[in-house]
A and B are shown apart, each in its own frame.
Chain A
């Protein structure tokens, strides 16, 4: 691999994998999505203005690839073997310790329009402005989704607790 691409892979692979995993909830599909995102970036002729845009582009593309896979007819007819959606939070490999797996599990169960903003805001520590850029939405939309998503997480946790 060329030198100029290897830094990119080293720098973003782990983070992109976690974002892909939060959408796919299985290792193989998450890895496929990240590989595809890197390939698209390398083939893309358009120059990226700066590092922040580069990162935003990669995250956005990874999410789009995940959503395309999830929507595909093939994916909907198959189930990954040997992995359970129930324990997705344990396999996400965050670079810090999360004391509350139950909440992360609930976040991963949210509908996609809540899940991605919430995951990026809380677990990858992105600012609302950055999330708006990554997801191509207005900041106000992200704030609304964070608020409503939070209410959905509360509901999910309440339903789970006896």
Chain B
């Protein structure tokens, strides 16, 4: 892929005109411009990566390392989900369970005894990781595609 293809926008042409404008003092200006354009490009790449990551996280299922896992959406953590200590709850103690052999994880959910509707969710992955979340049901969007949020809603309905 050539440089033109990478830059591929109006800014790139403007930069080329400036670059051929002069030497000496122009060099400094050119260097500064060069730095500025590089920053812009880097930001553009970062934005694209963030966008893709956000999409995956909104769905709730991503891939961590070689094993499939449930990525927690950073925004959702502030909203409905809160990471908590793993209690090592058994299947018998749980109100609802999900066994996802082909995805490599299990989920256990239990409705909490509190005034606000809350569900404790424990996730266990086949790479050995264990995670737990406190989910506030009231803050979950009805149309959520986040796996843990959806599971928490199911747990609430089961309990």
A residues whose Cβ falls under 8 Å from a Cβ of B: 95-96, 98, 100, 103, 106-107, 118, 121-123, 125, 127-128, 139, 143, 146-147, 150, 153-154, 157
CA distance A139 to B97 in the complex (A): 25
Q: CB within 8 Å of A: which of B119-150?
A: 124, 126-128, 130
A150 B92 Cβ-Cβ under 8 A: no
B106 A125 Cβ-Cβ under 8 A: yes
Q: List chain B residues, Cβ under 8 A from A121.
A: 106, 126
B106 A122 Cβ-Cβ under 8 A: yes
B67 within 8 A of A: yes
Tell me the dominant secondary structure on chain A's binding face: helix
CA distance A107 to B102 in the complex (A): 10
Please give the distance in Å from A117's CB to the nearest CB on chain B: 9
Tell me the dominant secondary structure on chain B's binding face: loop
Please give the distance in Å from A42's CB to the nearest CB on chain B: 26
Name 12 extra pairs, CB < 8 A, besides A98-B99, A103-B102, A122-B106: A95-B91, A96-B97, A103-B101, A118-B101, A123-B99, A125-B106, A128-B126, A143-B126, A147-B66, A147-B104, A150-B101, A154-B102
Task: Identify 17 residue pairs between A and B in the complex whose beta-carbon atoms are under 8 Å apart, listed by A's number.
Answer: A96-B91, A96-B94, A98-B99, A103-B101, A121-B106, A121-B126, A122-B99, A122-B106, A125-B91, A125-B124, A127-B124, A127-B128, A127-B130, A128-B128, A147-B127, A150-B101, A150-B102
Question: A158's closest neighbor in chain B, by CB?
Answer: B102
Q: List chain B residues, Cβ under 8 A from A98.
A: 99
B104 A153 Cβ-Cβ under 8 A: no
Which of the listed residues B66, B91, B101, B102 has the most CB atoms from chain A within 10 Å of its own CB? B101
A150 B99 Cβ-Cβ under 8 A: no
B90 within 8 A of A: yes
B104 A146 Cβ-Cβ under 8 A: yes
Q: List chain B residues, Cβ under 8 A from A96.
A: 91-92, 94, 97
CA distance A139 to B126 in the complex (A): 11
User: Of B101, B124, B128, B130, which is within 8 A of A143 by CB?
Assistant: B128
Which of the listed residues A121, A122, A127, A153 has the most CB atoms from chain B within 10 Å of its own CB? A122
Please give the distance in Å from A72's CB to the nearest CB on chain B: 30
10 A-B pairs with the lowest CB-CB distances in the bound complex, closest first:
A146-B126, A128-B128, A122-B99, A125-B91, A154-B102, A103-B101, A153-B101, A122-B101, A150-B104, A96-B91
Question: A126's closest neighbor in chain B, by CB?
Answer: B124
Q: CB within 8 Å of A: which of B2-57?
A: none
Q: CB within 8 Å of A: which of B67-107?
A: 67, 90-92, 94, 97, 99, 101-102, 104, 106
C-beta contact mask, B108-126 vs A, less than 8 Å → 1, else 0?
1000000000000000101
Q: List chain B residues, Cβ under 8 A from A128.
A: 126, 128
Q: List chain A residues, Cβ under 8 A from B90.
A: 125
A157 B102 Cβ-Cβ under 8 A: yes
B127 A143 Cβ-Cβ under 8 A: yes
